[in-house]
Structure 1
Amino acid sequence: MKKPVSNPIAHAVLAATAVLALCASPWSAASAAAQGGQPAPAASPASTGPIRIGVLTDLSGSLADLSGRGSVEAVKMAVEDFGASVLGRPVEVVAADHQNKADIGSQIANDWYDNKNVELIIDLPNSAVMLAIQELGRRKNKIVIGTAGGSSDFTGKACSPNGIHWVYDTYALAAGTGRTMVKQGGDSWYFITLDYSFGLSLERDTAAFVTGAGGKVLGSARHPLNSADFSSYLLQAQASKAKVIGLANAGGDLINTVKQAAEFGITRQGQKLAGLLMFLSDIHALGLETAQGLVLTESFYWDQNEATRTFSKRFFERTGRMPTMVQAGNYGAITHYLKAVKAAGTSDTATVMKTMRETPINDFMTRDGRIREDGRVLRDMYLFEVKTPAESKSPWDYYKQLGVIAAADAARPLAESDCPLVRNKAAAAKP
């Protein structure tokens, strides 16, 4: 695995190289000549030139499989399917690797906003990066759609009038997996947690469901991003005697944790592993022999119905892999955005955001979804169990659905929100 460079100057060079290389390659743009449509009003070059969408992602690190180049392809698919133009303006896609560093991500986003007229940034695996870009989008008056980062703070204390949390958040995962495990008797927990805003949010939200249901949290161990050795954390979890070991990490870190837990025989000794954020790509990397029996919560699975299968097969033809919920969500989010630009007759941020909120979300992934005032997309989530090797009938046949978490239960109630937009609205409504 490629390790991030520690030298700040090297960071900046790599960031610039990533942007330039991607802009010059087939990965960078999906554009075409304008195809009819309503002409944009005469204004500055920024409002009459190309509409640019930035995919800020992890192309080389532990989160690349769940987002990465697959996310770039999904955005390109959405742009191409829309006709590659809107309001008579070509739509272009630029992409770059934030290297899981908030400073690198901010440098790239600043350049995109200031010099490349990027209207929207999407994807953003790694919640620290996602939250940094949220703040930048607020200052620059640009739209930010988090599809890959999970921290519920994105629509909580860090919410923005220009921010949308599209696919999932840590509250939804906790409500699904955490609540279910307690109901099944897993009433004592120990967490192995990524020491970033995402992992800390996921542990916090899950712990609240565990204790709220009468369970106990016996402790937690926190690790840095891109860790290789989880033995000490697993030994602490094992020594706690907790019935459930909650894995509040993701990507390569999660895969390594599960593999090493299997080597230690932890599940054979009676403790259960709860993957609080697992993706199809993680199960593919682990293999069913290791991952079988894991319970997880997602907002999308490629084999749910004919519509999901149709999209996923198209995606597979381009990438050689079935899409994760993040990659599917990127397609849906960009399609919704382009529809809103067309309906609004402008790419103005406030006008487009208003249109996106007023328009129900209906696609192969989402039924009657909507964007709440805090930026949270209200959508159903699904509880899955990983199949055994004997149950799997074909490649990528990994999940069986256990249940549905309704949208109202999957989102933090507004009454409990610490989003300033919600609090200010409530205060204004009081006599």
Structure 2
Amino acid sequence: MPMLRSMLAATALAALSSSGVLAQSAPAGISDDLVKIGVLGDMSGIYADVSGRGAVEAVRMAVEDFGGNVLGKPIEIVSADHQNKPDIAATIARRWYDVEKVDTITDIVGSASSLAVIAIGQERKRIVLATNGATAEINGARCSPYVLQYRSDTYAMAKATAEGILAQGGDTWFIIGADYTFGRTLAKDISDVVGKAGGKVLGSVFHPLGTTDYSSYILQAQASGAKIIAFANAGGDMINSLKSSAEFGLTVSGKQRVTGLLVFITDMHAVGLPTVQGLILESDFYWDLDDRTRAFGERFFKRVGKMPTMVHAANYSAVSNYLKAIEVAGTDDADAVMAQLRKTKFEDMYARNGYLREDGLLIHDLFLFQVKSPAESTKPWDYYKLLNVIPGDKAFRPLAESACPLVKNG
């Protein structure tokens, strides 16, 4: 009889296990009875226009549109300013994950800050929505199974911009970049793209973050004789670079032409169309592209007083799809949610024909635009005209060339 009871118990245990009753790999439901989203960005510095309050409002819009709860549990948003310092970003991320039970962190403007937070997310097995970090290192050697790099990376933006300008005869380049991970990665990627296309980068120089005097850098670029002077920086640095270039007589259409490799619509608004008309740029999103983008842009404008950048749109899209993945998975467990996101077809006002690759990079269509002249602009924030739609599979680095250790090549 004892042996029979043991056999019956073993059979019952096996049945419970196979039915999923004892399964522990994907816990159901919402941990802590709350889904908490952290918006970590630049709230007052040189990237505030592309991050900051706009990023927080975009996430609020996504949560409101989702109904304010998921699987019957409330969604809470917290935000903080990392002051463009990776150590501060890391400290906040640790506190959020360990003490405040934040489930995911989004935005994280600045590639160095993004990489710092991604490393902590991997340690804690928490999802990072990298909607603002552009360096290709995020999907390359420093990739993580818990990250979504949601926006165009340095490789994609370099490829799209350079190919558009090379087609117009811009075959010699000089790069002025920001002296940190993003600027140097972008400079390398643009050098690779230009070189493969038969062009040549004649030199490069790097400036500290937040530089106000660009005269020495621009003089070096002019002395090189390069046809294209490319700025590998962003936010306030990009705005100041373009304004300084105009003071030195450089335009987007002269013998020596200037271009920006990461340009936001807020930059165009700050500099003004007379200075940047004709500029060729890549973007993931433009508020006036179609009915879907206009609907989002007009709602955002009413709340923030300016049109959304592609990063603001990316924050909305990323958080919306993250919440949908929780709903479908039936849990906020990071592994289960990431598995669902890898099955997701991303299609909304930001992500077109999108899917998540194993290296954590969101593949989606990109757009090549040209800045309008003042005469062509018919209303406020009417700044871009579409030159080309670049399918995601053509825009991003091929997976076979990835340095991400998660990728199984061969």
TM-score (norm 2): 0.92
What is aligned with 1:233? 217
The reply to whether residue 381 of structure 1 matches residue 366 of structure 2 is yes
Aligned to 2:106: 122
Task: Report 1:37-52 matches (<5 A).
Answer: 47-52=31-36
Determine if contact 2:28/2:330 at 8 Å carries over to the other structure: no
Q: Deviations over 1:151-176 (max 9, x none)?
A: 01100011000011102111110111
Letter in 1 for 2:200: K
Judge conservation of contact 1:41–1:48 (CA < 8 Å) in 2. no
Aligned to 1:257: 241
Task: Give the Å deviation of 1:41.
Answer: 7.2
Deviation at 1:287, TM superposition (A): 0.8
Indicate which of 38, 58, 61 corresponds to 1:74.
Answer: 58
1:324 is matched with: 309
Aligned AA (1:320): G
1:181 Cα deviation after fit: 1.2
- Could you tell me which residue of structure 1 aligns to residue 182 of structure 2? 198
Aligned to 1:315: 300
Q: 1:306 to 1:114 in 2, by over 3 A?
A: same
Deviation for aligned residue 1:368: 2.5
For residue 367 of structure 1, what is the aligned residue in structure 2? Answer: 352
The 5-angstrom pairing of residues 32-431 of structure 1 reads 47-267=31-251, 270-422=255-407, 425-426=408-409
User: Partners in 1 of 2:144 and 2:254 — Cα distance?
Assistant: 46
1-side partners of 2:329 and 2:110: how far apart?
32
Match of 2:22 in 1: none
- How big is the shift at 1:362? 1.3
Structure 1 distance, partners of 2:51, 2:369, is: 20
AA aligned to 2:228 is V
Separation of aligned partners in 2, 1:42 and 1:235: 61
Matched residues in 2 for 1:168 and 1:145: separation? 13
Displacement of 1:269 in angstroms is: 5.3
For 1:136 and 1:178, how far apart are their aligned partners in 2? 34
Q: What letter is aligned with 1:239?
A: A
- Report if aligned partners of 1:176, 1:297 keep a CA contact under 8 Å in 2: yes
Counterpart-to-counterpart distance in 2, 1:275 and 1:169? 15
Residues 42 and 348 of structure 1, relative CA distance in 2, 3 Å threshold: closer
Cα pair distance change 1:382/1:48, threshold 3 Å: same
- Quick check: which has more Rg, 1 or 2? 2
Deviation of residue 179 (structure 1)?
Answer: 1.5
User: Which ranges of 4 or more aligned residues in structure 1 deviate by more than 6 Å?
Assistant: 40-43
CA distance in 1, matches of 2:159, 2:27: 46
SS of the residue corresponding to residue 63 of structure 2 reads helix
TM-score normalised to the size of structure 1?
0.87
* Cα 1:116–1:416 shift into 2, 3 Å: same
Q: How many angstroms apart in 1 are the aligned matches of 2:74 and 2:362?
A: 27
CA RMSD in angstroms comes to 1.4
In structure 1, C-alpha distance between the alignment counterparts of 2:324 and 2:353, rounded to whole Å: 16
Return the alpha-carbon distance in structure 2 between the equivalents of residues 311 and 257 of structure 1: 30
Task: Indicate conservation of the 8 Å contact 2:369/2:386, yes or no.
Answer: yes
Secondary structure class of the residue paired with 2:166: helix
Distance 1:362 1:403 in 2: 19
The secondary structure found in structure 1 opposite 2:103 is: strand
Q: Partner amino acid for 1:205?
A: D
In the alignment, residue 346 of structure 2 is paired with which amino acid? I
User: How far apart, in 2, do the equivalents of 1:208 and 1:41 lie?
Assistant: 45
Alignment length, in residue pairs? 384
Distance, in Å, in 1 between the alignment partners of 2:32 and 2:113 is: 30
Bigger Cα displacement from structure 2, 48-57 vs 263-272? 263-272
Judging changes above 3 Å, is the alpha-carbon distance between structure 1 residues 218 and 84 closer, same or farther for their aligned structure 2 residues? same
SS at match of 2:105: strand
Please tell me whether the aligned partners of residues 123 and 148 of structure 1 are also in contact (alpha carbons under 8 angstroms). yes
- 1:344 counterpart letter in structure 2: A
CA deviation vs aligned residue, 1:78-102 (integer Å, no higher than 9, x gap): 0011011011110001000000000
Task: Provide the secondary structure at the position in 2 that maps to 1:118.
Answer: coil
| Partner secondary structure for residue 273 of structure 1 | strand
Contiguous gaps of at least 5 residues in structure 2: 1-25
Q: How far 1:367 sits from its partner (Å)? A: 2.5
* C-alpha separation in 1, matches of 2:213 and 2:374: 27
3-state SS in 2 of match to 1:401: strand
1:68-119 CA-partner distances (Å, limit 9, x unpaired): 1100000010001101101111000100000000000011111100111001
Question: Percent same amino acid among aligned pairs?
Answer: 53
* 1:308–1:365 contact (8 Å) kept in structure 2: yes
| Matched AA of 1:367 | R
Contact 2:278 2:371 in 1 (8 A): yes
Given residue 83 of structure 1, which amino acid in structure 2 is its aligned partner? G
Question: For the residues of structure 2 that align with 1:269 and 1:133, how far apart are their CA atoms?
Answer: 42
Q: State the 1:49 CA deviation.
A: 2.3
User: Whole-Å Cα distance in 2 between the matches of residues 298 and 417 of structure 1?
Assistant: 22
DSSP 3-state at the match of 1:420: coil
The whole-number CA distance in structure 1 between the counterparts of 2:201 and 2:143 is: 28
| Alpha-carbon distance between aligned partners in 1 of 2:399 and 2:236, rounded to the nearest angstrom | 34
Does the 8 Å CA contact 1:175/1:409 hold for their aligned counterparts? no
Distance in 1 separating the partners of 2:34 and 2:351: 28
